[in-house]
Amino acid sequence: MRLTNDATSQSAPLVSAILCTYNRASLLGCALGALCAQTLGREQFEVIVIDDGSTDQTAAVAERFADLLRLRYAYQDNSGLAAAKNHGVCLARGEIVVFVDDDDVLDSRCLQAHYETHQRHPAVADAVLGFTGLAAGPGRSPLMRYVTEVGCQLFYYPHLKHDAKLDYSFFWGGRSSCKRRLLLEHGVFNPVFRFGAEDIELGYRLRSVGLRVIYNANAISYMMRTLSFDDFCRRCYLQGRSNQVFATLHPQREVQAWAQLKGIEAEWRLIEPRFDLLMQSGRKLDRFATERSRVDLPLDKLSTQLLHRAYAAAFTANRIRGSIDMQGEAPVSAGRSDAGIAA
């Protein structure tokens, strides 16, 4: 493990921003640059960058910010997102830990908004969900608008109200915060999850100690990265695999419903012969819509409906395929996550 700035001799910060990254050096600089502009004072927060086995210039990018932030950088062999987050929690010194995605930039008041919400809700089991919108580039993408505003496969904000009190299923990855003590005493992320559902599964376990998620619409971040059609299909496939793991670890009916596994074997028998056709159709319609958006030509109502149906069919098919594939693999062990971490 390497540290670009060993802050152990300094006073403990109020907030620890944990940023896990893998081969996204081109985006990391923007994410760290936004952290330099926070209204929360520099001495009041630290930034912990966990490099999950990157082979690009991630370490060099982090090094550039070592004198601009209370920043600590740690490298680990590639182990997945859950293990990387746990590594960050182990290194954190702040009372509050805020999880930050490496493809997001935080609004200047984001960390302060998280911290102030925790001040108003001091119970150990109270967590905070912030709002993530799309930066200018992704905001022009028909696919990105669909997965955040229509299908809501990426974010589900349209029906949330500021200051709403939400359940464990809103403990969302790189836009949530909690008291570090909650994780130290009651459990961390299960490392069997390499991508997807690690946050909701932890939230499900923490609900036994009263986890409550408070939504603060003013704790804002913006996603910088535009996902392609194939990117998002791959994401849905991995999510399907993680859903199956979640349901295997927790056979309760509530989890089975969240994981959307009921009847998927029959659904897959219908989808499998048409899978390639669904993908081809989705790619063509996405390409058509994307090209029009680049020259500011809107789709008519019928074309929009066809596009949205194609997105929904392709994304659902990939999620189901991921779950079916995971069912055929070796059984999942529970991992070591229920116990807390020694402070």
Q: Does position 127 have pLDDT exceeding 50, yes or no?
A: yes
State pLDDT tens for residues 158-184: 899 999 999 999 999 999 999 999 999
Query: Quick one: pLDDT at residue 1?
Result: 38
The pTM assigned to this predicted structure is 0.92
Packed helices 301-327 and 264-271: angle between N→C axes, nearest 10 degrees: 120
DSSP 197: S
| Alpha-carbon separation of residue 13 from 69, 160, 173 (angstroms) | 12, 31, 22
> Sign of the C-alpha dihedral, residues 241, 88, 190, 217?
negative
Strands (E) located in 142-276: 165-166, 176-179, 212-223
Query: Quick one: pLDDT at residue 329?
Result: 87
How many residues would you count in the chain?
343
The pLDDT mean for the chain works out to 94
Query: Quick one: pLDDT at residue 337?
Result: 54
What is the rounded average pLDDT of the residues 207-227? Answer: 98
List the CATH code of the domain at 15-227. 3.90.550.10
Q: Does position 341 have pLDDT exceeding 80, yes or no?
A: no
From-to residues of CATH 3.90.550.10 in the chain: 15-227
The token duo for 11 is 């006073």
What is the rounded average pLDDT of the residues 65-81? Answer: 97
- Give phi and psi for 272, each to the nearest 5: -55, -45
Query: Quick one: pLDDT at residue 10?
Result: 76
Query: Quick one: pLDDT at residue 139?
Result: 86
Packed helices 229-249 and 301-327: angle between N→C axes, nearest 10 degrees: 40
